[in-house]
Structure 1
Amino acid sequence: MSAARVAGVDEAGRGPLAGPVAVAAVILDPSRPIAGLGDSKALSETRREALAPLIRERALAWHLELVPIEEIDRLNILHATMAGMARAVRALSPAATLALVDGNRLPPGLPCPAQALVKGDAREPAIMAASILAKVARDQLMRELESLHPGYGFALHKGYPTPEHLDALRRLGPCPQHRRSFAPVRACLASSLPGI
Structure 2
Amino acid sequence: MSRIGRLPVALPKGVKVSIEASEVTVTGPKGELKRAFSPEMVIKQEDGKLLVERPSDAQSHRALHGLTRSLLFNMVKGVSDGYVKGLEIVGVGFRAEKDGEKLVLRVGYSHLVNVPPLSGVSFTLESPTKLKVVGIDKEKVGQMAAEIRAIRKPDSYKGKGIRYAGEVIKLKPGKAVGKAGK
TM-score calculated relative to the size of structure 2:
0.26
| Higher helix content, 1 or 2 | 1
Which of these two proteins has the greater Rg computed from alpha carbons?
Answer: 2
More strand by share: 2
